[in-house]
Every structure is written in C-alpha cells, then in structure tokens.
C-alpha cells in the first residue's frame, strides 16, 4: 500500500515537474511576431493605473490580432509586473528583451524612462512609450526612441491656462503641487505661459503627496483669493480635503486637476465637494457620447463595465505603436527604433476612433491635445466643459 502510494506520489510529482519544465520555456514567439513588452505596475502604489493600462493594451492588441494582425503579423504583448519600482522595471525590461526580439515597450515611470533611455539609444531597435508624461521626456533629441500618448505635464497645465484665459481673461491662478518630481515638473515653465496669457499667478503651494492636514495651506490659499486653483502631482489626497475646507470657508475659487487625478472613480471619491471639479483630460471618458466614437463603442462592447482613463491611455498607446508598425511595414522598411519613430512622427490628422475627439498629429514626443471636463455629481460623471483644445 505504502509502495503504491509512494509510486503514485512520485508519478504525480514527475508529471508536475515535466509540466513545469514544459511551461518553463518562454512561450514561443512566432518568427514574425511583433513584440510589445511592458513594465506594468500591477501591484504597489500605482496598481490602480497599472491594471487599467494592462487591460487597455491587451484589448487593443486583441482587436488588431482578431483582424489579422499587421500585414499578417501578429502582435505579442508580454507584460511583467514591476510594483512601480525602477529596479524591478529594468529587470523586466532585461528579461523581456533577452527572451524576445522586442519592437515596442511600455514603461511605468519617469524614473524608468530616464534610466532606460541610454539603453534604448544603444539598442536602437525599440520604440517606447509609457505612463509618464514628464516634460523632460518630451525632448526628441534627448529621448529619441520614446513618446507619450498625450500632452506632457507642462502642456496639460497650458491647456488649462488657455481655457482659463479664454473663459475669464486676466484671472488669478494658484498652483498647489506635491513635493515630488512629478509635482514640480510643470510649475516653473507653465508660470511663464500664464504670464504670457495675461493671467496672474498669485500663489504656489507645495505639500507632501497624500498629506492629510492642509488647514494652513488652505488659509494661505484664502489670502491669495485665486479665481482658479490648479492641483498637480497628486492622485487623490489632499485634493478632497483642500476642496472641502475651502468650500467651508466660502471660497469661490474653481478647482482643477491634471490627468492622474482626473479618473472618474477618483473624482467621485471626493463626494459632494467634488461637484464642479474640473481638469484636463487627453482622452474621452468611457461613457462619453458627445462625439461620434466608434472605438469607444467597441470598448463598451468588449467591457460593459466602466474602464478608467488609464485604460484609455494604454489603449491609445498600443494603437499608436501599432500604427507606426503598420506604416513602417507598408513602406517596406525594417522594424527598428529609427523607422518606427519616423513612422510615428509621420502620423498627421489621425483618427483615433474617438479616444481623442479630434484628429491628432505627433510631430515630436507628445500629443498636445486635451479637453476640459467637469465633475457632475448628480450624474456621477465627468462632462465636457470645453471643446478639444490643441496647443500650437
């Protein structure tokens, strides 16, 4: 009996090991697959966005592959979790690029994008985009093989400023930003732009990201009496606390945010106080039906439940990557960093199927387009407050 059991156990163990070994090999890459690797933050502080990005890329890749791929070549998406740590992201990059001939890569942070940039230059075979909209990356000379599927942070603030200058010329503006690289990114450069537009920057407040007690900062804001207050460098806290306290003090300032604090689920967490919260969004919201948007309809068909703005970001990034691969292959050229980037830069008046409501062009590393949305708490939705604004 014992022997029988032992044999059984050994057989099962052997089978498990064989299965493990078989699975241990990296899933085979067909010779002509186009590979999109990704350092995706599926765990850690940025997981809320990572999950959306992952789903977005996955869905677009599925759409393309179901339609027969690009010139018959399938796209293979190879994600790896990074927990939003630069060393893990670089590890993932090395792992994926040593296992596959990678053509595209999605990076999860500004730190990673800066770290891997020399390696991208050295390889010269990969075109990369990512979750970072850092102004620093929007430099086609310095970051040759990178782009971002939207406006950089400075451009986002500039879109807000254009809207303000249009709505309320000569208005007073205050900035509230976090004490991080992300938070400080657009502040100095966009202050210049505000002056050019005839707006007055009356206060700049720096806080820790996620700080809880902001009462002294709110008092400072009240003394400055701005017409508009722009938050940047936060995901949620301390924005709701700021708005609550300011409203209790009877302040009339209009609060605004940038991309990462603008997802529907984030804004709705602000509760009643968030009503009227505005911000710049480069993509249409999942439920937006203000424009004709076949791609949004397709997304709603594939996923009946709400998808975050990070999903749209991932989706559009995959779309632009695919488009540049398509253009490169159509021109009969090899898929390498230079050709893919040139193909990406050749994109002009491109229809994204409604992900961005106007035709887009990518002359450099960014897409300087966005729209102002406003929170409508009665509908629990973000509704358009302006038309699409394109920076010249």
Partner 1 sequence: MRIGTAKETYRHDEALFDTPVQRWWLAGLFVAIAAFPFVADAYWIYLGCLVAINIASATGLNILTGFTGLVSLGQAAFMGVGAYIVAWLEINLGTPFFVNLLAGGLGAGLIGILVGIPSLRVKGLYLAIATIAASVILHFVFANWTSVTGGQSGLTMPPATFLGTALDQPDKLYWLIVPVTVLMVLGASNLFRTRIGRAFIAIRDRDISAEVLGIPLLRYKLYSFALSSFYAGVAGGLWAYFFRVVTPESFPLVMSIFFLAAIIVGGMGSILGGILGAAFMTMVPEALKLIVGWLSPWLPDAVALLSPVRTIVFGALIVGFLIFEPRGLAEAWRRLRRFFHLWPFKT
Please count the residues of the chain.
392
Using CB atoms within 10 Å of the CB of residue 19, give its burial: 0 to 12 exposed, 13 to 18 middle, 19+ buried: exposed
Nearest approach in angstroms of CB 45 to partner 1 is 10
Question: What does 327-364 look like in DSSP terms, one character per residue?
Answer: HHHHTT----HHHHHHHHHT--SB--TTSSSS-B--SS
Nearest approach in angstroms of CB 111 to partner 1 is 6
- CB closer to partner 1, 89 vs 386: 89
Nearest approach in angstroms of CB 388 to partner 1 is 30
**Sheet of 34-40, strands arranged across:** 75-81, 34-40, 102-107, 127-130
Q: What residues from 36 to 95 belong to the interface with partner 1 (CB under 8 A)?
A: 40, 42-43, 47, 51, 54-55, 58, 79-81, 83, 86-88, 90-91, 94-95
Contacts of residues 6-13 at CB distance under 8 Å and 24 or more positions apart, as own/partner, are none
What is the contact mask toward partner 1 in residues 162 to 201, using x (rule: CB under 8 A)?
-----------------xxx--x-----------------
The answer to whether 106 touches 317, Cβ cutoff 8 Å, is yes
Number of Cβ within a 10 Å radius of residue 2: 6
- Among all chains, which residue has been given the structure tokens 């450069």? 189
- CB closer to partner 1, 122 vs 223: 122
Cα separation, 177 vs 208, in Å, equals 8
- CB closer to partner 1, 90 vs 369: 90
Nearest approach in angstroms of CB 259 to partner 1 is 19
Specify the stretch interacting with partner 1 by CB under 8 A; choose among 64-72, 110-118, 264-272, 360-368: 110-118
Nearest approach in angstroms of CB 54 to partner 1 is 5
Rg (CA), the chain: 23
Nearest approach in angstroms of CB 79 to partner 1 is 5
Specify the stretch interacting with partner 1 by CB under 8 A; choose among 113-121, 318-326, 350-358, 359-367: 113-121
Total of residues contacting partner 1 (CB under 8 A): 37
Residue 130 main-chain phi, psi, to 5 deg = -175, -170
Nearest approach in angstroms of CB 42 to partner 1 is 4
The answer to whether 157 touches 184, Cβ cutoff 8 Å, is no
Which residues touch 191 (CB under 8 Å, ≥6 apart)?
175, 201, 204
Q: Interface with partner 1 includes 101 (CB under 8 A)?
A: no
Q: Interface with partner 1 includes 115 (CB under 8 A)?
A: yes
Cα separation, 131 vs 194, in Å, equals 26
- CB closer to partner 1, 87 vs 289: 87
Q: What residues from 126 to 155 belong to the interface with partner 1 (CB under 8 A)?
A: 136
- Among residues 122, 250, 252, 332, the one that binds partner 1 under rule CB under 8 A: 122
Cα separation, 373 vs 383, in Å, equals 5
Cα separation, 340 vs 334, in Å, equals 9
Q: Interface with partner 1 includes 340 (CB under 8 A)?
A: no
- Site of interaction with partner 1 (CB under 8 A): 20, 23-24, 26-27, 40, 42-43, 47, 51, 54-55, 58, 79-81, 83, 86-88, 90-91, 94-95, 97-99, 111, 114-115, 118, 122, 136, 179-181, 184
């Amino acid at each position: 009996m014992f022997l029988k059991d032992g044999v059984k156990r050994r057989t099962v163990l052997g089978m498990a090991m064989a299965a493990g070994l078989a699975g241990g090999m990296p899933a085979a890459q067909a010779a002509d697959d186009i590979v999109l690797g990704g350092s995706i933050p599926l765990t850690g502080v940025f997981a809320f966005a990572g999950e959306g990005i992952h789903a977005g890329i996955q869905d677009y890749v599925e759409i393309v592959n179901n339609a027969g791929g690009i010139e018959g070549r399938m796209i293979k998406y190879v994600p790896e979790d990074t927990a939003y740590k630069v060393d893990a992201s670089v590890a993932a990059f090395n792992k994926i690029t040593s296992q596959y001939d990678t053509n595209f890569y999605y990076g999860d942070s500004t730190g990673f994008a800066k770290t891997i940039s020399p390696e991208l230059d050295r390889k010269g075979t990969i075109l990369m985009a990512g979750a970072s909209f850092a102004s620093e990356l929007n430099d086609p000379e310095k970051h040759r093989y990178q782009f971002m599927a939207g406006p950089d942070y400075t451009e986002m603030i500039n879109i807000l400023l254009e809207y303000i200058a249009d709505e309320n010329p000569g208005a007073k503006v205050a900035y509230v930003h976090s004490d991080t690289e992300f938070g400080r990114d657009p502040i100095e450069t966009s202050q210049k732009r505000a002056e050019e537009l005839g707006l007055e920057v009356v206060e700049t407040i720096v806080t820790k990201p996620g700080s809880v007690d902001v009462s002294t900062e709110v008092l400072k804001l009240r003394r400055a009496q701005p017409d508009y207050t722009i938050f940047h460098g936060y995901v949620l806290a301390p924005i709701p606390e700021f708005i609550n306290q300011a409203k209790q003090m009877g302040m009339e300032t209009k609060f605004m945010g940038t991309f990462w604090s603008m997802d529907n689920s984030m804004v709705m967490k602000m509760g009643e106080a968030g009503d009227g919260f505005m911000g710049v969004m480069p993509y249409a919201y999942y439920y937006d039906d203000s424009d004709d948007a076949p791609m949004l309809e397709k997304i709603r068909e594939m996923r009946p439940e709400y998808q975050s703005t990070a999903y749209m970001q991932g989706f559009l990034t995959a779309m632009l990557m695919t488009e540049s691969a398509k253009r490169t292959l159509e021109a009969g050229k090899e898929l390498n960093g230079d050709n893919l980037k040139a193909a990406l830069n050749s994109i002009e008046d491109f229809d994204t199927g409604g992900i961005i409501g106007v035709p887009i062009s990518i002359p450099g590393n960014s897409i300087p387009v966005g729209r102002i949305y406003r929170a409508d708490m009665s509908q629990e939705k973000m509704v358009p407050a302006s038309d699409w604004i394109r920076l010249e």
